Structures are given as structure tokens and as C-alpha cells.
Amino acid sequence: MIFAENYFSFGRRYDNNMTKFASLFSPGKIGMLETKNRLVMPPMVLNYADEMGHVTPKYLAHIERVARGGVGIIVLEASFIRPDGRGFAKELGLHAEDAIPGLGQLVEAAHAQGAVIGTQLFHAGRQTSSKITGMQPIAPSPIPDSTINEMPRAISIEEIKDLIEAYSQAARRSKEAGFDFVEIHGAHGYLITQFLSPFSNTRDDEYGGSDEKRMRFAIEVVGAVREAVGSGFPVIFRISADEMVPNGLTLEDSANISKKLEELGVNAMHVSSGNYESFSRGYMIAPMSMPDGLEVPFAEWIKSSVGIPVIAVGKIRSPALADDIIRTGKADFIAIGRSLLADPDWPKKAQEGRMEQIRYCIACNEGCITRLLSDQDVWCTANPETSHEEEFAKSLPERELRVFIAGGGPAGMEAARIAALRGHRVVLVEERDHLGGALLLASMLPQRPGWSELRDYLVGEMKRLGITVRLGTTATAELAKKEGAEVAIVAIGASQYPPHIPGIKSKNVVLSRDLLDGSARISGEKVIVMGGGISGAQIADYLSRRGHDVTIVTAGREIAKESAVVVRELLLDRLQQRGVKILTGTRIIEITKDKVLIVGPGDSDDLPGELPADTVVASTGAKSNDGLADELRKVGKQVFIVGDAVKPRDVTHAMLEGARAGLF
């Protein structure tokens, strides 16, 4: 395995110590509100509400599932206080009285498990678009956000007063629905941050022009919310301690703001960072290439400025790290967002010391935030149950079946895991001498440790659940018959096929797959990567880091376009820094022993050029391996085909299909 990287995930190394995480599981207090532990589910827009912003059965099933896993405090997603503040098409709303009954059901679900629950009062300001709200976005000043690129309308003082009233009404509705607290969303570049920050507020009236004036909107919102909910009701404020943009909020600014909010009676600070324009720096929703616990220093900084409790967040994935942060006084509560999407039972398992059973969030950002930002509902790549809780609540089968699974990649292992959990007898057959399939290949690249974490989890589950695994064995219909299989699941992935061009069989051409599994090597300095998908781009990243002179040639217009958000921006940044050349709209028409002939850009075939090449890495298409399915059907088996064996795609879909196949 030539690409194996040293990887150290901050905090994970303590996990095998059977500490009891006494700090993490000690009761906490926010204002007068007592909590059973220090774990918080931070707000995450799920896109599970209906068009009216009302709670749906799917939403309720998700919250019930999370609450059952033992988290102490649930902060519901950013919920719009007025329709013009909606940030996502299917976000929850706190804008109308008819939202209250549905919200009340969420409260009951949380309380039934001993968790406390609150809403997050939200207005997107300029960080939304007219496509979502049907209206021109509003903001303190007419400055567009560069990621949205839509000119907002600066609001008048009269409109500011109306907005403050809308925050107050949303808080009142939250209390009426039975919530235990409210959190004011003052972070991530939304409306309140837009007022607080000189980056987005250039007003010269009483709401802008000095630190005090920029703070006025937040202060008035806090005052109105407090009046609406009364003195004993906890109010939390979420802040981006460092906005990470030029002329944006700094740590000093945030400490001053936090002190002022404490004076006004805010009961806790929830400390995040960034806004939309600094999102690609990888802090706000950190990808796997960023270290664990990366925003904790911000929480620590705010904690040193105030006396009220502070909630830390940001890729805090391991119970040991979470416990350590509390024990050493860096923060009072720990928010674990994506970790709960990946495993809602994380709190319970940690408290019971079942560390090896925790399915860690691998920070791939694929199933969750990338789907959200493309207007889809939030899933989790590692945990297919998230978003499909109702489907996975299916009752157990009446009798045990014998299940034969061909293929030990993510789809095959997830199918085996679910089938075994449902009481079936499972045999999994893998042609290679190891499990992992596409996960193993993905984890061989730099900055991709999460994929091997998911592989390790699934392999661990094969052992824990007593699944019979036959390595180095080819799956055939005959073998399935011999095993007495009643159901067969085909999960044997896809094979890579290089394009039919002259010279493709030359010695200097290697397939990306062979490079990743260590069966092929690079020679010479000049490398051409043929294909601009995520795999090609990451191979270029790795090879340039090893000192090769790399050029990516792709017929497409962009590279790595199927990559998760943030992951792509950071990757493109690294490629640029290391001088990787990228030729888009360009095709390789021939390969010789020391060069490639190219045409393009675009459709112009008349100007073939050439590029020197010591090695050409073919990182092009794949074809499904589904032939076994027909054989199995012929011998009368009930057959499911899953993952890349249906169509080469991402791990997210492979995992979900595998899980669904195991759900009979």
C-alpha cells in the first residue's frame, strides 16, 4: 500500500482507556435549567420540514432516535423567525402559530428520554436567496455575500424594529410549544452577525459605525427575547468567535460582545466560527483533512472572558477528547453535531464504555452538508439510518434466513451488518485477502483518513456480530447453493476500464486503482493524470506532494466536481499551491513511451499538442460487476444488487443500498 499516511486524530488515542468520562457525564446547568450530561446536539438544518416549515413525521422520527441515544441537550436546527429569513427550502419555521403543535411533539420526544430541548432563532439576512424566499434578501447594508451573489436590500430603522418583534414572537412561540430554552443564532454570517460585523455592516445610523452601534441590533434582539420568555427561561447565544474574513469579527470583538451579552442576562455562549465567505477554510464544518477539536481554542478564549457556561463545538469526535475539554475547564458543554448523525447512540455507548461500537463521523461532509447545500435532505454517509429512521424501524422478521453476500466493500459489509442485526445467518465472501473495497482504496490517498475509520468500524462489526467472512474466495452461484443461501446480495463493485486509445497498453500507463492498491508504481518526474474526477485530482495532490511534476488532463470543464463541499476547495487550493497544471476541455488521443498527444480545449480537434510524460495515470471510468446476479437467479435465489455493482457512485449510496438490502 504505497499511499499509507501517518494519521493522528487528536484525542482518539485515549479511547481505549476505559475511563468513565465522569466530567462529560456529570449533570450540567444553564441558568436554572438542569441537564443530565454535558452533551449537546448543536443545531443542524436537516431539510426534513415541509414547505410551510412545519414538523413532519420524518423529523419527529429523527429527533426521537437521537434523544434515545442519550444526548442531554438538543438544539433544533436554525428555524426561521419570518419567511424572508428562511435559509433552506425545507427548514423549520417559528414564524406562525400553526407551527406550535408540531414543535410540541418534538419537545415530548426529547422529554420522554430525559433530554432538554430548545429552538434556534434564525434569520438568514443576506445569506439566502430569492429562489428560496421568493423575496430579495435583506441586510444591514447593500453588500452581497460573494457565495450567494445576490444584492440584498438595506433595511430601514422601522424594518429593524419589526424584525426584533419577529424574534420576540418566535421566542414566545418556542416557550408556548414547551421548549426548555432558546438559542439566538448570532453566528455564521447570518443576519445578527451581519449587523455585528464591520465586514457586512457599513451603516452610519444608530445600528452601525462603531462597535457599540453594530452591537445594538443583537442587544435589542436579546432584550426582546428576554421580555418574551421571562426571567427564568434560559437564553443561549451562538457566536462566530472568529469570522475569518478581512475586516470581520475578531476574537477580541467576540470577547467584548460576549461580556456585554452576559451583562444582559444571556445564560450561555455557544462558540463556533466563520461565515459563508470563510466556509471553505474548513473550520465551521471541518472535513477529514482538518484536525479534531479545531474550534475548541475559540470556546476557551470566550470562556476566559465570561462567567456563564460555554459550549464548545467543532469535530469533537471522541468521548475522550470531549471529556478532556470539560475536565480541563476549556468549556462547560460539548456539542457533537455530525457525530450524532453518524451514531445517535454515541452518548450511551461512551457512557457504557462500548467504545469499539461507536460509529465515528468520518468528516466526509458528503451525506450531510453537501446534500444540504444542494437542496436535498441531510443523510449520513456512514449511517444510512439517518433520515430513514421510519424505514429502519421495521419490525424484526419472523424467521432467520441464510444470507449469502458477495463482496466485502462498504455495501456488502453494511448489508451483512444490518442482516445480522435482524437475526439472519450471514456468510460474506470476498475475492481479495482483505475487506474494505472502495473504502480501502479511498483511504490510501492523502487527507482521507476517515475512509479507513469507516472500514475499521465495519470490519469490527463483522467480528462482533459473528458474521462468517470467507476471504480469498470467489463468489459463485454454486458456492451460494452450497452455503444453503435463501437470499443473495451482490456487492462486488465495479472494475476500471481505460479508454481505447492508441498506446493505452504502454508500459508507462498505470491504472489509478492499481496505483492505489500498491500493484503499480510511478516512474520518472513528469506525470499525466488522465481524468479529472475526485480520484484523479486526489492522486495529483498526492503525487505533487511527493515532488512529481503533475498535469491533470480532463475532457470535463471542472475537476473534482463530485467532491464534497470544503473538501473540494481545500483540494483545489493545494493543487494550485503545488503548481499542478490542469487542462480542462482537453482529450488525450494517443500515448507514446515519453509523451501524450492532446486535442482541445473544447471541440477543436485541429490542433493536436503534446505533453511530456514519464508516467500516465489513467483515472477514468468504471463498469459495474453485476454478472453474478444472473447466475444466482438461475439457481433460484432471491437476489439484490447493491452499490457500485448497480452503478459506480459514491460511498453514501453504496452504504444506503447495502443497508436496505439487509433490511428484510
Nearest-angstrom CA–CA distance, 563 and 573 = 14
Please, which residue, 249 or 350, has the CB nearer to ligand SF4? 350
Question: Of 65, 175, 338, 417, which lies in the binding site for ligand FMN, with binding defined by CB under 6 A?
Answer: 338
Question: Of 12, 126, 185, 425, which lies in the binding site for ligand FMN, with binding defined by CB under 6 A?
Answer: 185
The answer to whether residue 457 is catalytic is no
Cβ atoms 334, 24 nearer than 8 A: yes
CB within 8 Å of 73: residues ≥ 6 apart: 28, 30, 35, 39, 40, 41, 115, 116, 117, 118, 333
Residue 342 interacts with which of ligand SF4, ligand FMN, none, CB < 5 to 8 Å by class: ligand SF4
Do the bridges between strand 622-624 and strand 425-429 make them parallel or antiparallel, or are there none, so unpaired?
unpaired
Residue 336 interacts with which of ligand SF4, ligand FMN, none, CB < 5 to 8 Å by class: ligand FMN
Residue 77 interacts with which of ligand SF4, ligand FMN, none, CB < 5 to 8 Å by class: ligand FMN
Number of residues located near ligand SF4, criterion CB under 6 A: 14
Question: Of 321, 342, 580, 596, which lies in the binding site for ligand SF4, with binding defined by CB under 6 A?
Answer: 342
Q: What angle do CA 519, 454, 74 make, to 5 degrees?
A: 160
- Beta carbon of residue 365, minimum distance to ligand FMN (angstroms, whole number): 7
- Beta carbon of residue 89, minimum distance to ligand FMN (angstroms, whole number): 14
CB within 8 Å of 533: residues ≥ 6 apart: 559, 560, 562, 619
Please report, to the nearest 10 degrees, the dihedral formed by the alpha carbons of residues 545, 546, 548, 552 taken in order: -50
Question: Of 35, 201, 272, 551, which lies in the binding site for ligand FMN, with binding defined by CB under 6 A?
Answer: 272
Residue 44 interacts with which of ligand FMN, ligand SF4, none, CB < 5 to 8 Å by class: ligand FMN
Does 455 engage in binding with ligand FMN (CB under 6 A)? no
- Residue 163 DSSP code: H
**Interface region with ligand SF4, contact rule CB under 6 A, candidates 46-54, 290-298, 361-369, 636-644:** 361-369
Please, which residue, 38 or 338, has the CB nearer to ligand SF4? 338
Does 565 engage in binding with ligand SF4 (CB under 6 A)? no
Question: Of 160, 187, 224, 321, which lies in the binding site for ligand FMN, with binding defined by CB under 6 A?
Answer: 187
- Residue 155 DSSP code: P
The torsion region of residue 56 among left (phi > 0), alpha (psi -120 to 50) and beta comes to beta
CB burial of residue 581 (10 Å; 0-12, 13-18, 19+): middle
- For 6, other C-beta atoms within 10 Å of its C-beta total 5
Residue 366 interacts with which of ligand FMN, ligand SF4, none, CB < 5 to 8 Å by class: ligand SF4
Provide the greatest CA pair distance for the chain. Answer: 81
Cβ atoms 494, 623 nearer than 8 A: yes
- For 47, other C-beta atoms within 10 Å of its C-beta total 18
**Interface region with ligand SF4, contact rule CB under 6 A, candidates 34-42, 121-129, 254-262, 364-372:** 364-372
Residue 45 interacts with which of ligand FMN, ligand SF4, none, CB < 5 to 8 Å by class: ligand FMN
Residues 490-529 that bind ligand SF4 (CB under 6 A): none
CB within 8 Å of 482: residues ≥ 6 apart: none
CB within 8 Å of 628: residues ≥ 6 apart: 406, 475, 476, 477, 490, 492
Does 534 engage in binding with ligand SF4 (CB under 6 A)? no
Residue 228 interacts with which of ligand FMN, ligand SF4, none, CB < 5 to 8 Å by class: none
Please, which residue, 452 or 625, has the CB nearer to ligand SF4? 452
Residues 101-160 that bind ligand FMN (CB under 6 A): 120
Please, which residue, 366 or 461, has the CB nearer to ligand SF4? 366
Does 331 engage in binding with ligand FMN (CB under 6 A)? no
Of 190, 276, 283, 542, the catalytic one is 190
For the chain, how many helices (H) and strands (E)?
Answer: 22, 27
Positions marked active-site: 190
Where do contacts with ligand SF4 occur on this chain (CB under 6 A)?
338, 341-342, 361-368, 380-382
